[in-house]
Amino acid sequence: MSQTSFSTLALHPDLLNNLDSLGYQSMTEIQAQSLPHILAGKDIIAQGKTGSGKTAAFSLGLLNKLDVKRFRIQSLILCPTRELADQVGKEIRRLARAIHNIKVLTLCGGVPFGPQIGSLEHGAHIVVGTPGRIEDHLRKGTLKLDDLNILVLDEADRMLDMGFQASIDSIIDQAPTSRQTLLFSATFPAQIDAISRRILHDPVTVKVESEHDNSVITQYFYEVDNNEQRMIALRLLLQQYQPDSAVVFCNTKRDVQDVADELFNRGFSALSLHGDLEQKDRDQALIRFANKSASILVATDVAARGLDIENLSAVFNYNLAHDQEVHVHRIGRTGRAGSKGMAFSFYSPKEVHKLHLLEDYLDRTFTAQALPDFSLLDQTPVPSTMITMRIDGGKRQKIRPGDIVGALTGEKGINGDQVGKIQVSDNWAYVAVQRDCIKPAFKKLSEGKLKGRKFRVSVVRG
């Protein structure tokens, strides 16, 4: 039996059976190194990038320890962004589906306070949330941590980057000192070392090196003199390679918006993602990017944390990252699950020193590449393959994905294989359909009925 098999662990049989049904055959490196210590009740400092399997590592640990009969908050996971918190909450529910009556609550900012208070009054076992909103609930007395036995800090470096230090300190002050604490971080700045010494007890350190197989991710570097050349280089490469889905990383929120606007005005299906956007716009951008209604997402590093898009074709570093680990973290979002990936990076003559630091860090030498032929700029960008529609009704109106598929594919409707991803929330739903059938699809949904009633339907553009 493989030493990396989940069955080598002292996990609850229901959890093991569910892992098997989900196709989780063997542990990733971070799971193999951390799970035995987590299950033994040890505090952990773990370094691993997005996609390393860290969410399953801490989720299995807290689910194995959970006492379902005690309807009290036993685990709290802090995340830097709502997107990551939602993703973690979904993963915990997937891993817990064989154990009945487990209640997982997600508490984040950007949404009304009232419904969250109502949910807390009904009780929960596990809470996932952002530090600011968790601190608000603790201050108002709507959240109690008296029965907490596991505290997880996920993407701890980004929470500190985003200014959550005071909120984290406040939350820790109200958590029992006898708890188990698990700290996960992609990078280890001095602040992380300081906070870990303060809040962890005799921790076990786990570090999974970021492995970048040169045969999986091909890196290209281009020297550009100014921002005008940078944008031309980006457009040329997007036209040359025409990636199905690409993330363009910028170092500032202003650059993100400027680059996204310029690409959009040039005919590319590009969206922006940064901290100044309204929550609805951020949610909509992520949904459209994930369902292929937009092929390019321009983002800051902080906004892109928790972004988990399968088969990301390419990553563009519009600006070189300030930190070598962040560069590795960025490009590691492509070339996953054995697929090939491409990473394109732009640097100015003033940034050559950053390139040399990166070469030292990766123990490789990079040569500046020549850009594709400028005639590509005359071509019209390829549109996205899908278009998204929004339905002003969701789970509270009893709408399920099957109802939407049925409405679209009924009499004189579209084919099932023309329907893309569907996401249903409490009061709204999004469905992607192939671009060439948007008219009949919109007609079916707007003129037809779901659950015996009509709902307002709109096409999401721009």
For residue 44, report the phi and psi dihedrals to the nearest 5 degrees. Answer: -130, 140
Least confident of 7-11, 138-142, 234-238: 7-11
435 and 387 Cβ atoms separated by less than 8 Å? yes
246 and 312 Cβ atoms separated by less than 8 Å? yes
Please report how many Cα atoms fall inside a 13 Å half-sphere around the Cα of residue 110, on the Cβ side.
19
Residues paired with 433 in a beta bridge: 387, 419
Element (H, E) at 76: strand 75-78
CA pair distance 304, 445, nearest whole angstrom:
32
442 and 380 Cβ atoms separated by less than 8 Å? no
CA pair distance 438, 93, nearest whole angstrom:
33
CA pair distance 61, 34, nearest whole angstrom:
10
Whether the per-residue pLDDT at 257 is higher than 50: the answer is yes
26 and 5 Cβ atoms separated by less than 8 Å? yes
- Band the pLDDT of 217: cuts 50, 70, 90: confident
CA pair distance 155, 367, nearest whole angstrom:
33
Average pLDDT for 285-291: 91
Domains and their CATH numbers in the chain: 6-207 (3.40.50.300), 217-378 (3.40.50.300), 386-460 (3.30.70.330)
Amino acid making up residue 290: A
For residue 423, report the phi and psi dihedrals to the nearest 5 degrees. Answer: -130, 125
451 and 397 Cβ atoms separated by less than 8 Å? yes
Top mean pLDDT of 296-305, 336-345, 450-459 is at 450-459
pLDDT tens per residue across span 367-390: 999 999 999 999 999 999 999 999
pLDDT tens per residue across span 313-337: 899 999 999 888 888 888 888 876 5
Count of CB atoms within 10 A of residue 98's CB? 17
For residue 147, report the phi and psi dihedrals to the nearest 5 degrees. Answer: -100, 10
* pTM of the predicted model over 0.85: no
CA pair distance 158, 164, nearest whole angstrom:
9
Whether the per-residue pLDDT at 277 is higher than 80: the answer is yes
For residue 313, report the phi and psi dihedrals to the nearest 5 degrees. Answer: -70, -40
pLDDT at 26: 86
Count of CB atoms within 10 A of residue 365's CB? 8
CA angle 303, 137, 56 (to 5 degrees): 50
What are the b/e assignments for 17-28, b being 16+ CB within 10 Å? ebbeeeebeebb
CA pair distance 330, 342, nearest whole angstrom:
11
Please give the span between the terminal C-alpha atoms of the chain, in angstroms, as a whole number: 53
Whether the per-residue pLDDT at 2 is higher than 60: the answer is no
CA pair distance 263, 377, nearest whole angstrom:
12
Give the pair of three-digit tokens for residue 252.
């500032």
| Beta strand segments in 91-230, E | 104-107, 126-129, 150-153, 180-185, 204-207, 217-223
Strand bridging mode 246-249 / 314-317:
parallel
CA pair distance 442, 431, nearest whole angstrom:
10
pLDDT tens per residue across span 162-192: 678 889 999 999 999 999 999 998 877 777 8
Element (H, E) at 90: helix 82-95
Residue written as token pair 């001095």: 190
Residues paired with 153 in a beta bridge: 78, 183
3 state DSSP class of 238? helix
